Structure 1
Amino acid sequence: MAVRKGLNPKMMRRGAAGVLLLGGIVAGAQQFVATRPVSPASRAEQIIQALDLRPQTREGGLRGVIGRTMPETLIDGKAMAVQSRNYDMLTSALPIRYLHRLESEETHILVEGGPVEVFVICPSGRTERDVMGRDYGPVEDAVVPVPAGCWQAAKLLPGAEFALMVSTQAPEWRSDHLHIGAGPEWIRHHERKGTWATPELLRELIGPNWQP
């Protein structure tokens, strides 16, 4: 198991235009955060209403669409946007983004709140548990990349009221590129691949998408 103590440069490669685009999105979200100082209990509800975040039945948490790059380009013979962007949020009432896999590379950027555990399980057998938080250093970071094709899940840490994130997908998020849910065979294959990967936690991360 690898517990990341900083960003993996190989997983964070992107062009200059992508860096500027991400910087603008996060700066805008942080400006939104800075101009509305309220108590944590009401802050989550304010963000949900202001950003029109909607509960995600299968993936868990809440989501709001920011947009995607235009024009589309051909990727593997399909017309797709190079990148899509969403707000993702976990709250004490909806604390888990359940196990799923995308065919796109995804990057999660913490805007406010947390900390959040992010679990990544790749086909190569590599597993990672990252903590997204504001205690920058060897344990926590504000950015967690997830390579295309890897399973992932996220869980709000106990005591945290909420976590607001910006998530980008490259190429764009598509419902036909989303794989969600798993069952006993998946757990048997991946349990103990990391010290954190207990059968009990893996089952919790699958949540209501259990496939017996």
Structure 2
Amino acid sequence: MATVSVNVPPEICPEVPAFTLWSELVEQQERGESFIQRFLRGKYSTLEVKTLATNWSLEALVCQFAVPGEDQAAREIRNANREVYLQGIEDLEQLWEREYAHAFKSAVKSATGARGLDKKRLERAREHYLAMKGAPPIFDIDPPNGDQYWVSARECQQEKLVPFMNRAKVDRLRTYEGYFTKDMVASHYNTIMNIVDIR
């Protein structure tokens, strides 16, 4: 019987397409919510999924290493723990696919009767969600020192990612700043202060 459990989030927020202009979001006026808030919430969800997928993959690797002096019962527990982590990763990928499939269907449905700028916006969102649906964040850390594989459980543990909200504030801000382009910021302020959108 396994001794660990994994907590898959009940839902994630799909990313708003980065090329969607703030002023194009119809729901902006309806929900009183800014594009940047939605954009960052989606990015945070992606970072969270990436961290969980990576750390659970590393934990599954840790479970492959034999522990000195372990008996058959301990070995069975270690193998059961590994299966729990692998199942968690699979559940996380299914959650990702389900949420983006829903976002895709919603964009397709909304685009059916749309016209003009709304139709263009929804078509771009549809293509974005379709691409994201098939590309969940995955474990992609290379073993240290250019080796072919990890040689100890300790090496695996050292590669684990720190959850985003547990990172230093300066690191969180730097991550968010990296997502913004000049045209996104100009577009955001275009609605408020009549700054010309540079695109």
More relative contact order, 1 or 2 (CA 8 Å, 6+ apart): 2
Q: Which has the larger radius of gyration?
A: 2
Q: TM-score, normalised by structure 2?
A: 0.24
Q: TM-score, normalised by structure 1?
A: 0.23
Q: Which structure is higher in helix share?
A: 2
